[in-house]
Amino acid sequence: MEAAAAAGAVLAWLGVSLLSLADARRGLALGLVTTALGLALAAAASGRQPSAAAALAAGGAAGSLLRLRDGEPGWGLMRPGSTPRLVAALLVFLAAVLLVGSGLGVPTGVARLGAIAVALLALLRLLTVERRSPALGSGAALALGLGALGGGTGLMAAAVAAVALGTLSGAEAPGPGR
């Protein structure tokens, strides 16, 4: 179980790192779905309700699919100027380790590690991004990360939030009303 939880946490961190390094629809969708799957795996491994974990994965997947419908086409990975985001991804993982600290010995702690890393990295991305589509993707990841910190209600709420954010259009509005 610990190995599964660790794998899920790492997968989630990789997913959110991919999300934070991507600027186009495919990169965002892939990052989001990876994050959701990783978090769901870690949650399930840490003894949460399997149904809630599955809902989280489904919500994340639905959100990522919906993300594919608009926004900048392509992958848009590692564009010039994304080095700070890469560094941030590493630092955030270390910060999450520091926050979880002694809890790393148990699956719950490992799952929390992944969730915290996802939430922090998604937040950082959300605070620095200017365009709609990456903002929506990061928002969904933030919701997933926060939801993964809680119990069944949190996971379900995160799934709903991810789908709800997926329904919002990622196309840039013209003029001042962007």
Partner 1 sequence: MTALRAWFRDPRPGWWLLLAGAAGAAMTLLCLLGRPPGTLLLPPPSRVLLAFSAPAVALMVWLAPRGDRLERLCAGLVGLGSQAVLASVPDLLAVAVLLVPVGFAVAARPGRRSLSARVRGPALAAALLGLGWALLRSPGPAWLGRLGALGVALGLVAVGGLVPYLQEVEDGEPAETSYLAWTGFLAPALALVLPFRLLQGHLLTPDEGMVVGAVLVGLGALNLAWGAVGAWRTASLAEAWRDSFLVDWGFALIGLGLFERDGLAAAYLAMLAVLGVRTPLALLARTAPAAGTSPRPLALVLVVLLAGAAPFSGFPVRLLVLRAATELAWPLAIPLLMAMALAAAHALRLARALGSPRGRDAIGLAVVLAVSLVLGLVPGILRGLGGI
Q: d(Cα 155, Cα 6) in Å, to the nearest integer?
A: 18
Report the C-alpha gap between 173 and 178 in whole angstroms. Answer: 4
Q: Is the dihedral of CA 18, 20, 22, 25 positive or negative?
A: positive
CB of 130 to partner 1, least distance (A): 6
Closest to partner 1 by CB, 32 or 143: 143
Nearer to partner 1, 45 or 124 (CB): 124
| Cβ atoms 129, 26 nearer than 8 A | no
CB of 50 to partner 1, least distance (A): 19
- By beta-carbon proximity to partner 1, the closer residue of 45 and 118 is 118
CB 172 to partner 1: min, Å = 9
Question: How many angstroms separate the CA atoms of 122 and 172, rounded?
Answer: 20
> Quick one: how far is CA 176 from the chain centroid?
29
- Which CB sits closer to partner 1, 80 or 175? 175
Q: By the 8 A CB rule, do 123 and 104 touch? A: no
Given the complex with partner 1, which of 21 and 149 has the nearer CB atom?
A: 149
The CB-of-140 to partner 1 minimum distance in angstroms stands at 8
Could you list the residues that contact partner 1 (CB under 8 A)? 99-103, 109, 112, 115-116, 119-120, 123, 126-127, 129-132, 134-136, 139-140, 142-143, 146-147, 149-151, 153-154, 156-158, 160-161, 164-165, 167-169, 173, 176-178
Beta carbon of residue 74, minimum distance to partner 1 (angstroms, whole number):
20
10 or 156: whose CB is closer to partner 1? 156
Whether 104 and 1 have beta carbons less than 8 Å apart is answered as: no
CB 144 within 8 A of CB 35: yes
Least gap, CB of 28 to partner 1 (angstroms): 14
Q: Are 60 and 30 in contact (CB under 8 A)?
A: no
